[in-house]
């Protein structure tokens, strides 16, 4: 089970993210994010779902996680450092952030980042 955070850089520099409980490895997520969540509308709808069990190609196939009877909403962090602290506390191995229309992927242990498009090409 590969956990990940998927988020978007906001105009004020904060980052809004959702937790993805499984399927967050780059081999799987690169194609999904690059092909299905390139527009801000699709990503906004994903963020509205809140935390999900897995990010899927079709938004309607993403199942929101719940705690008791309520769903887990998305979170906004004021800085990348706070986002990485959240990733660490959630045992997330990967962080995906859409910045200015481009996806980046970060390995939380190495704290190294690269454009997801480049990784997608490498994996194809």
Task: Locate 104 and state its tokens.
Answer: 């980046």
Q: What is the pLDDT of residues 24-71, one digit of tens each?
A: 999 999 899 998 998 778 999 999 999 999 999 999 999 888 766 556
In CATH terms, the fold of domain 4-123 is Rossmann fold (3.40.50)
Mean pLDDT of the chain: 87
Residues in CB range of 57: below 8 A, 6 or more apart: 32, 35, 36
The structure tokens 């196939």 sit at: 61
* Mean pLDDT value of segment 77-102: 91
CA 95 to chain centre: 6
pLDDT at 70: 59
Q: With contact defined as beta carbons under 8 Å apart, do 43 and 112 qualify?
A: no
Q: Which residue has the higher pLDDT, 79 or 1?
A: 79
Q: List the domain boundaries for the chain.
A: 4-123
Tokens matching residue 45: 């709808």
Q: How far apart are CA 38 and CA 50, in angstroms?
A: 18
Given pLDDT bands bounded at 50, 70 and 90, which one contains residue 114? Answer: confident
């Amino acid at each position: 089970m590969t956990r990940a955070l998927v988020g978007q850089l906001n105009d004020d520099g904060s980052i809004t993210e959702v937790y993805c409980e499984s399927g967050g490895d780059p081999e799987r997520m690169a194609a999904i994010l690059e092909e299905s969540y390139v527009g801000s509308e699709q990503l906004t709808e994903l963020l509205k779902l809140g935390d999900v069990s897995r990010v899927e190609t079709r938004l309607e196939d993403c199942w929101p996680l719940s705690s008791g009877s309520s769903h887990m909403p998305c979170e906004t962090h004021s800085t990348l450092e706070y986002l990485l602290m959240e990733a660490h506390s959630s045992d997330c191995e990967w962080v995906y952030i859409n910045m200015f229309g481009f996806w980046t992927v970060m390995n939380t242990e190495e704290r190294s980042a690269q454009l997801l498009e480049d990784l997608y090409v490498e994996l194809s």
